[in-house]
Chains A and B, each alone.
Chain A
Amino acid sequence: MKELLNELLKEDKAFIHIPYGNGLFDIYKSVVITWIVIGILFLLILFLTRDFKVHNISKRQAAVESFVMWIRGVTGGMLGDEGVRYQDYMAVVLIFIAASNMVGLFGVTPPTMDLTVTAGLSLMSIILVEGAGLRKKGLGKWFKGFAEPMPVIAPMNILELAIRPLSLCMRLFGNILGATVIMELIKHVVPIIFPALLSVYFDIFDGAIQAYVFVFLTSLYIKEAVE
């Protein structure tokens, strides 16, 4: 069992090793998997949105339209009226993380199990949050925002710039890692049937929940920033 965990946790993540910077510029396997995920999503989008019509719509079009309406409603509801312009981005993040978490169903290691991917996602999130605040308030007000509700809090507010993406990144990474480790252990103990049932929970349900939590928190930060 120890070897299994070692194999899972200490494996070499590099897909393409770049002999410069001591592995700091390696292309990881997780990134390659996100390429595949994104490629599949591209194809899916292109296939699903093919020849849309205004009248006599196909079932496919009706499904896509109601899905778009629904996911916009979900993210728009979390962002509030002020931040509603970011709903499409949040919807894309939701779809991307959910899809990434669910590749475990096909026996692939989820890319979100790698800290690199979650770090990239949370970096984008904090850039979006602060960008939204800057755009809404302007530079002066944005700077003043750090001293609110009172100047004593300012160091905390500045620390939050790092804490928020770190917590987002670690939460997603830890949850998916934990789920995968538990799944591996269960597969080791009971090899048949039982893992399939739990996989439904860990890969689909937990994956969707983690994606939702990530998007929900980012939306909350944006809402807070643009208020």
Chain B
Amino acid sequence: MLNISLLSVGCTIFNLLLLFFVAKKFLFGRVDAILVKRMEEVDQATSEADEAERQALSTKKEYEDKIASIDVEKENILADIKKQGYEEYERIIGDAKKKGEQIITEARHNAEVENERAKEVYAAQLTDMVIDAASKIAATKHSSEDDKKLYDKFIIEAGVNNE
């Protein structure tokens, strides 16, 4: 029961080593190959994801910059338009004021001219009346009573004429 065969021991060792190499090559080797491949894929996917994230961030920054510059541009345009609007407004108001002043001046001038003319007409009438009165006085012999009547008559006539 306890006897030992050296060849059998050697065979056992050989068997064990053979099993080990087969297991190493097929069982562990194949599983390891798959695991390594999977690890590589995961690494690749991770690095790709990192790259994509980086790109997305840079694109986002680009767009943010663009949006910021658009705001500035908008402000500029608005400011320009406002300025133009003010200028136009000022110009129109200025023009209107000028025109108004001109009209007023003209009107004043016209009024003066009219006034002058009326005065002249009045003066001419007065001259006519004076001449008329003077001629009447000269034509009639006059007493103080006649004079008084004459004055009254003249005044009435003048009043009638003046109305």
Contact = CB atoms under 8 A, between A and B. Distances in A.
Interface of A: 9-10, 13-14, 18, 21, 23-28, 30-31, 34-35, 38, 41-42, 45-46, 48-49, 52-54, 61, 64-65, 68, 88-89, 91-93, 95-96, 114-117, 119-121, 123-124
A31 B11 contact: yes
Nearest to B2: A115
Interface of B: 1-13, 15-20, 22-24, 26-28, 30-31, 33-35, 37-38, 41
Contact of A54 (B4, B9, B15, B41): B41
**Chain A interface, DSSP helix/strand/loop, else mixed:** helix
Given A9-B1, A13-B3, A124-B13, A92 B8 contact: no
Contacts of B5: 14, 23-28, 116
Contacts of B41: 54
A89 B4 CA distance: 25
Given A88-B23, A95-B23, A119 B31 contact: no
A34 B12 contact: yes
Chain B facing A: main interface SS: helix
A90 to B, nearest CB: 10
Nearest to B5: A26
A23 B8 CA distance: 10
A52 B31 contact: yes
A176 B117 CA distance: 154
8 contacts: A31-B8, A31-B15, A92-B24, A96-B16, A116-B4, A116-B9, A120-B8, A120-B15
Given A49-B31, A68-B27, A88-B28, A34 B4 contact: no
Closest 9 CB pairs of A and B: A120-B12, A116-B8, A25-B7, A28-B8, A49-B30, A120-B9, A26-B5, A92-B20, A68-B31
A72 to B, nearest CB: 8
A114 B37 CA distance: 43
A25 B6 CA distance: 6
Given A35-B15, A52-B34, A88-B24, A18 B4 contact: no
A21 B6 CA distance: 10
Contact of B27 (A14, A28, A49): A49
Given A26-B8, A117-B12, A92 B34 contact: no
B14 to A, nearest CB: 9
Contacts of B28: 68, 88, 91
Contacts of A21: 6
Contacts of B20: 88-89, 92
A93 B30 CA distance: 19
A91 to B, nearest CB: 8
B2 to A, nearest CB: 6
A42 B16 contact: no
A54 B34 contact: yes
B34 A27 contact: no
A45 B23 CA distance: 7
B38 to A, nearest CB: 6
Nearest to B18: A38
Given A26-B7, A38-B15, A10 B23 contact: no
B4 A52 contact: no
Contacts of B10: 120
Contacts of B22: 42, 45
